[in-house]
Structure 1
Amino acid sequence: MEGPPTTIPPLLLRNIITSIFIYADKFLLNLGKRYRILGSLRYILVSIFFFLLQFFSSHEYSKKKSSTNEKISVVGNYPGDTGISRALTQLLSMMNDVPVSSRKYEIVRTLSEKVVDDNMSECHARLEEINVVVLSAAFSRTLLQLENRVAVIEDDSVHEIIEGSKGNFNKLSRVTRAVWYCLEAAWSRMGMSEVNRCGKSAEKLAAEVLWLAQKLAQCGNVAEAVERWGSASKLAWLALSAEPRLQCSLVKVPVFLLKQAKEIGNNKDDDEGKKERQKQMKMKLLMSWLPLLCRATNGTDTPLLSLSEKAEVEKILEEIIEALSNEEQEQILSIWLHHYIHCPSSDWPNLKDCYSRWCNSSRRLLILQ
């Protein structure tokens, strides 16, 4: 008797597509410098890739949102119904909108920090819940804006290739051009229109994401930031080709979250299911952002991290990786080795000892079989 058809989990399918695309994109990027028409083909593939990532991200977010709504309905007291929560929500939204060059930006930032800190100082469960819910929503919103802003930068650079290949584009079949225009329209519908792009500096948004993550950590809910940032694979991929200043702004976030993630999952009272979810959360953070750690410390006037900070983060990376299964360690270390070797100007993070220990462990497992 035949069983029910098996389906591939969305997260696994997304990771498979991402892996395939990274290698295909590298191949087309190299050839695109010699053949303009391949630069045009790369643009089409980039658009398709982002569309698929958006689809899977929306699917995961919808499931999570549904689960969150169920929890709220059980509690019955959603903190958004209070004046102080509405005030904090408005302040955090304004912080996104006001340019950092404006003298009003510091006022909004200071007021936001004061409201969060004053809520914490009261040691009241309802106020603590308001902080967590509003900050989590602001983190997700700012992260989405950051993804869109960085995608715009990448989109603009791709258009430089497109402008130089208009002659070849006109030679494409009508079917190909129709697909192209449809993808352009889909791109705009996913929030990439010029209206949404105005006033959103990528470096400013990266700094605000870091600030929100720090505030969530103070409120005891940094796991939310770790999960959301680890799931931002689209942003992580775009960051690899971003300019050095932006890369440095972005890399500060995973560096901070890795320090916080070290403490996640250390509660012995948690059930096995929760521990497994926490482990997968850390693994996603590593898979998405380890490549940027290997590449983002170059091209700036001042060091991004001190020697002691680099050593601290390396130790944390080793601890997190060695807590994974042998197969999971192989996945992470394979990603690290690829980007570490292909970035000859950077020697950080140096996980060679961790890699050697994994090799020794793999040998022992083979001998015991």
Structure 2
Amino acid sequence: MGIAESPSSIAPLLLRNLVTSIFIYADESLVTLANKYKLLEIIRFVLTNSFLFFLHLLPSKTHNDDTFSKSADKYVGRGGCDSGIGRALSQLLSIISDVPVSSRKYQVVRSLAESVIDDNHRENIAALHEVNRSVLSAAISRTLNQLEASMVELGRGRVEDDASSRRGPRLNRVLKTVQSVKETAWTRIWWWREDGNRSGCSAEKLAAELLWLSQKMIACGFGEEAVERWASASNLAWLSLWAEPRLQSSLVKVSAYLFRQTKDMGTEEEHCQTKLKMLMSWLPLLCRASNGTDVPVLSNRERAELEGVLEETIDMLGQEEQEQVLSLWLRHFTYCPSSDWPNLHASYARWCTASRKLLLLQ
């Protein structure tokens, strides 16, 4: 079953992924040349920081996406945090995001939060279910923003460390001037962006908490909203392509878990649009980071299961949307020599066959 063709609704994601791919491979080429030519090092430094700067300005959601607007309206509820139990749960989840995992109080607070969520869910009362939904949804949004801010900071730091290890006195002065201008702008953006990473939490910790929050939300029966929020985190998906391998592994686990949840979603247009956004946002990361650092992130069984989910999801799309997704997959799958997964050759072959038939019918 295909959804209505709406190329304009997915065009921003397609453009983002295309630009990201070009930028990644151009940057990899510049790294080698920058070691030899100081001018290229300046250019790489300026381009990379400018790219991260403007990426941080972009909203993670496409605000003119009618599908997202409708689904967001559906999720809006009242009374979640207007009660004592709602405020208590909100405070617990906020503390969890601030307290380091190494603290002995972390597990205490997390256990308290799980107990409150589970007790609310066991009660067959709509108001308590709404408390769980609204508070967990707000926590996911806050954690997504914190993780995005943390990854931007990590990216900036990595570029600056890389440049400072090779530059001479004259180049140092030039880059310091660039950095001074950049820091002024970053300071303003820091306060403008809501819920920045002010707590100093590690990105890996935030990614692990996103997985936990998503699991709790799905256990409470609100899986569609969890999937929608992850599908709409397009900025985070972009940044994940530059992340450290350990962080990429954590994000692959979140993506794989939420991709599997799409099996239980319906075939209505809004659900299909959510699945399309999931593919366009997170399929590149699956292609590039599934091998992990020491061992593959996913087991063979998990990989096979997820490949099946991806194929089923792609088959539900219209021809033009299948072309966009498969073109994106082919580009990242081909240019990532370290991974042969996900293998979507069967979906690609089916799309080619269907395209030939359409051409013959014209």
Which residue of the partner structure matches residue 168 of structure 1? 171
Q: Deviations over 1:97-138 (max 9, x none)?
A: 110011110011111111110000011000001100000000
Which residue of the partner structure matches residue 103 of structure 1? 104
Quick check: 163-172 or 106-115, which moved more? 163-172
1:355 paired with 2:348, answer yes
**Structure 2 unaligned blocks of 5 or more:** 1-6
* 1:291 Cα offset (Å): 1.1
**2:43 maps to which of 6, 22, 41:** 41
* C-alpha separation in 2, matches of 1:364 and 1:132: 46
Which residue of the partner structure matches residue 122 of structure 1? 123
Which residue of the partner structure matches residue 141 of structure 1? 142
* 1:303 Cα offset (Å): 3.2
Q: Is the 8 A contact 2:272 2:317 kept in 1?
A: yes
- Residues 52 and 223 of structure 1: CA distance in aligned 2, closer, same or farther (over 3 Å): farther
* 1:160 Cα offset (Å): 2.0
* C-alpha separation in 1, matches of 2:61 and 2:163: 31
- Residues 45 and 231 of structure 1: CA distance in aligned 2, closer, same or farther (over 3 Å): farther
* 1:170 Cα offset (Å): 4.0
TM-score by length of 1: 0.84
The secondary structure found in structure 2 opposite 1:363 is helix
Q: Is the 8 A contact 1:47 1:187 kept in 2?
A: no
Which residue of the partner structure matches residue 280 of structure 1? 273
Quick check: 242-251 or 24-33, which moved more? 24-33
Which residue of the partner structure matches residue 4 of structure 2? none
* C-alpha separation in 1, matches of 2:330 and 2:70: 38
The secondary structure found in structure 1 opposite 2:265 is coil
Residue identity in the other structure for 1:224: E
Q: Deviations over 1:289-342 (max 9, x none)?
A: 111111212243333222111110000000001100111111111111111122
Residue identity in the other structure for 1:147: E
Q: Is the 8 A contact 2:61 2:232 kept in 1?
A: no
* C-alpha separation in 1, matches of 2:75 and 2:137: 15
* C-alpha separation in 2, matches of 1:259 and 1:359: 26
Which residue of the partner structure matches residue 313 of structure 2? 320
Q: Is the 8 A contact 2:49 2:156 kept in 1?
A: no
* C-alpha separation in 2, matches of 1:59 and 1:311: 30
1:309 paired with 2:302, answer yes
**Mapping 1:1-369, distance limit 5 Å:** 12-13=11-12, 15-35=14-34, 36-57=38-59, 60=62, 77-163=78-164, 164-165=166-167, 167-168=170-171, 170=173, 177=177, 181-191=180-190, 196=197, 199-266=200-267, 275-369=268-362
* 1:343 Cα offset (Å): 1.8
Q: Deviations over 1:138-170 (max 9, x none)?
A: 001011111111222211111023323463364
* C-alpha separation in 2, matches of 1:67 and 1:52: 27
- Residues 263 and 37 of structure 1: CA distance in aligned 2, closer, same or farther (over 3 Å): farther
* C-alpha separation in 2, matches of 1:253 and 1:337: 22
- Residues 334 and 18 of structure 1: CA distance in aligned 2, closer, same or farther (over 3 Å): closer
Residue identity in the other structure for 1:95: I
* 1:224 Cα offset (Å): 2.0
Quick check: 9-18 or 291-300, which moved more? 9-18
**Structure 1 unaligned blocks of 5 or more:** 1-7, 267-274
Q: Is the 8 A contact 2:92 2:113 kept in 1?
A: yes
TM-score by length of 2: 0.85
- Residues 366 and 69 of structure 1: CA distance in aligned 2, closer, same or farther (over 3 Å): closer
- Residues 53 and 276 of structure 1: CA distance in aligned 2, closer, same or farther (over 3 Å): farther
* C-alpha separation in 1, matches of 2:188 and 2:316: 41
Question: In the comparison of the two structures, how many residue pairs are matched?
Answer: 346
* C-alpha separation in 2, matches of 1:220 and 1:249: 24
Q: Is the 8 A contact 1:50 1:234 kept in 2?
A: no
